[in-house]
Amino acid sequence: MNKENMLKTTKKSEWKSVRPLIKSYLRSSLFLLNQEMDNQILMFVISQLRLSIMFFAAFPSLAKRLIKRSIHLWATGDENLSACSFLLYGTLLQSVPPTTLIYA
C-alpha cells in the first residue's frame, strides 16, 4: 500500500474505529524502541514496524519520532542493527508525505 492509498483509507468511515488501535500500536512500538537496549529485540521490533510502515503516513508526529529514532539506531547500533535501521529509514522515506520529512 502506498501513501496515496493510505491517505484514501483514512477518509473511510471504518478508519474511525481502527484509528485509535493503530495509533496505540505504533506509539507502543516507538516506546519499546526507545526503552529497549537488546539488539535482537530492537531488530525484531524494527522488522515488525517495517511491515506496518504505511500507517505512519496517517500519523506525522509518530513518523517524525520514528525517523529520529531510526537515524539514532543507524548511527549508534552494531552492524546488524544499523542495517535494519537503515532499511526502516529507507522504507519510511517512501511511505510518509514529504512535509513530514521537512520538519523531522
Q: Is residue 40 classed exposed, middle or buried when 0-12, 13-18 and 19+ CB atoms within 10 A define those classes? A: exposed
Whole-structure pTM value = 0.84
How far apart (Å, rounded) are the C-alpha atoms in residues 65 and 62? 5
Buried b (16+ CB within 10 A) or exposed e, 19-28: eeebeeebee
**Per-residue model confidence (pLDDT) at position 94:** 85
Cα within 13 Å of Cα(8), Cβ side = 5
How far apart (Å, rounded) are the C-alpha atoms in residues 20 and 24? 6
**Per-residue model confidence (pLDDT) at position 104:** 58
Average pLDDT, the chain: 88
**Per-residue model confidence (pLDDT) at position 45:** 94
pLDDT digits (tens, 9 = 90+) for 21-60: 999 999 999 999 999 889 999 999 999 999 898 888 889 8
**Per-residue model confidence (pLDDT) at position 67:** 92
